[in-house]
Amino acid sequence: MRNAIRNPRRTAPLLAALVAPLLGCPSTRAPVRPDRRAGPTDSGIAEAAGLAPAKAPEPPKPPPPPPETPLSEKIARAKALFVARDFAGARKAYAAVLEKDPKNAEALFHTATAYEADGDLDRAADFYRRTIENQPDHEGALLNLGRLYRNREQFDEAVAMYVKALEAVPDNVRVRNNLGVVYRLAHKYDDAEKTLRRVLARAPGNVDAYKNMAVLFLDQNKLDLAEQFSVEAKKLDDKDSGIYNNLGLLYFKKDQGRPSRALAAFKKAVELNPNDATAWRNLGSIALRYRDYVSAEKSLAKSAELDPNSLDAHLAYAFALEGGKKFKEAMGEYGRVMELRPGYAEAIYGTANCLRNLREWEKARDLLKEYVAMPDAVHKDDARNALAGCEAMIKAAQQAPPPAPTPMPDRGIGAPAPAPEAAPAPAPAPAPEPAPAPTAAPTPVPVIDAPAVAVHPEPGRGTPAPEAVPAPAPAAPTPEPAPKSPAPETPKAAAPAPEPAAVAPATPEAGKEGLPALEPVPIDSGAAPEASKP
């Protein structure tokens, strides 16, 4: 011990071993060896074999996601759905494209055309605008949005759209052609002629410009000039149905109501193009003028089918159905007109006339009151007369005596006998009822031997829309003198409602009051949804 103390090298480890337990420090003593009697551990075996210890197995990795469909394939799929007329499916497919590429002009444009084909014109216009925002020179969007404005008679907006389009594509004759059409519809004839002549100066063989010039002169009743441009257009393309449609209108005006040449031209138009809705409407218009409602109905139904978003097509079809006394079907078409233009006066008046013919006096009265109060109503005098007739029929129905009481049935043996009834009081004389208006003898209807085609009236543009001739108001009731000693009698049933007077024969005269105007073909070069290109 003394030697240890004297030798610090030997003392230091000994002191450290004694002090470490007191300070809580790890001991410097050698580790305790494991019990050799215990079984060997896995790690011990692995170490004995010279191997690393085994690791816990890792969880399996998820499979990789499938490769994303290329954008071009998504667009191709959407196009195929559109061609198959699955417009809802096409919109969904294009929405998948727009999720990846919100500014894809092709997807925006075709989404717009799908909405337009389905009749959702507001959304269609919105997507056309988005297309133009992302591609200002997109010809199809510029043309189609301008056409939507034109069809809604928003001519100032349509002009602004085409002028903007010409800033992007100044040499585009299709846009300039459509600008000329809008100027014509807005009755800006000088601007229309100047615009169309610029088209012919740039493209002397442009058939659409010749057709539009012909229509422009037809509108101004310059028939010789209209014929000159129609003949030139026919030389350029004798298979164009629009040229024959315009020739039919020209012949109808020139021949003063002798429809043979006009009918032949309209027939040629639908022969060349069975999907020419305008030519079908014009055939139907001539049939309406001659009260050939069967032919008119067939032609106008075809026109409305081909142009389902056309207010004028459905309105003309409603006229034909009403003329053929198919009042419920006519009301359905008037309803379609009001879907396209809510509160449209002609549709309200036509519906009221149908209700009168169906003897629904109160409903007819309410609609006639609404119509008379409208500032754009053009048949107010006739409507007031019809309203007075409805009021008279409602009053007559209210004054009709109640039906006779039904006798009490026999209640069987043992039942108390009913009290004897007093003698019935004399029944009052029935209230005087309005006498039905005399019905004019029907005028023979000249039958047109051609399938009639619908004419598209253009309300608010010079020619009043056709209407059903209203029945005159019932004559003022003439009371009969009461008998001196009225005898008891069974009350009379209310007199039947007066039949509407026969419609006066229509005269085959263009622009005649109450007849639809024949419609020239508006040469709209807009990209139709079925054939649109980005």
Work out the pLDDT band at 151, boundaries 50, 70, 90. confident
pTM over 0.85: no
Q: What are phi and psi of 240, to 5 degrees?
A: -90, 115
328 vs 332: CA distance, rounded Å: 6
Whole-angstrom CA distances from 387 to 349, 355, 372, 474 are 11, 12, 9, 10
Structure tokens at 116: 């337009």
Please identify which residue in the block is written with the tokens 């269609």: 124
Whole-angstrom CA distances from 197 to 65, 212, 471 are 61, 10, 50
The reported pLDDT for the residue numbered 58 is: 76
Question: What's the distance, CA 374 to chain centroid?
Answer: 24
Contact 518, 285 (CB under 8 A): yes
To the nearest whole percent, how much of the chain has pLDDT over 70?
63
Work out the pLDDT band at 71, boundaries 50, 70, 90. confident
Contact 527, 143 (CB under 8 A): yes
**Other C-beta atoms within 10 Å of 444: how many?**
8
User: For 362-377, how does the pLDDT look when each residue is reduced to its tens digit (9 = 90+)?
Assistant: 999 999 999 999 998 9
User: For 190-247, how does the pLDDT look when each residue is reduced to its tens digit (9 = 90+)?
Assistant: 999 999 999 999 999 999 999 999 999 999 999 999 999 999 999 999 999 999 999 9
Longest CA pairwise span in the chain (Å): 169
Which of 383, 353, 351, 358 has its CA nearest to residue 369? 383
Work out the pLDDT band at 321, boundaries 50, 70, 90. very high
Give yes or no for residue 140 having a pLDDT over 60.
Answer: yes
The mean pLDDT value of the chain amounts to 74
Average pLDDT over residues 94-115: 90
297 vs 509: CA distance, rounded Å: 20
Q: Which residue has the higher pLDDT, 164 or 318?
A: 318
Query: For 85-120, where are the alpha helices, taking DSSP H only?
Result: 87-100, 105-117
208 vs 173: CA distance, rounded Å: 10
The reported pLDDT for the residue numbered 119 is: 83
Contact 389, 472 (CB under 8 A): yes
150 vs 178: CA distance, rounded Å: 10
**Other C-beta atoms within 10 Å of 506: how many?**
21
The reported pLDDT for the residue numbered 322 is: 95
- Give the HSE-up count for residue 3: Cα atoms under 13 Å, Cβ half-sphere: 0
The reported pLDDT for the residue numbered 47 is: 52
The reported pLDDT for the residue numbered 31 is: 52
281 vs 278: CA distance, rounded Å: 5
Structure tokens at 91: 């919109």
Average pLDDT over residues 336-348: 93
User: For 396-431, how does the pLDDT look when each residue is reduced to its tens digit (9 = 90+)?
Assistant: 988 877 666 555 444 343 333 344 444 444 444 444
Inter-helix orientation angle 345-357/327-340, to 10° = 160
The reported pLDDT for the residue numbered 482 is: 42
Which of 153, 147, 156, 97 has its CA nearest to residue 125? 147
> Which domains occur in the chain, in start order?
278-399+447-474+500-522 (1.25.40.10)
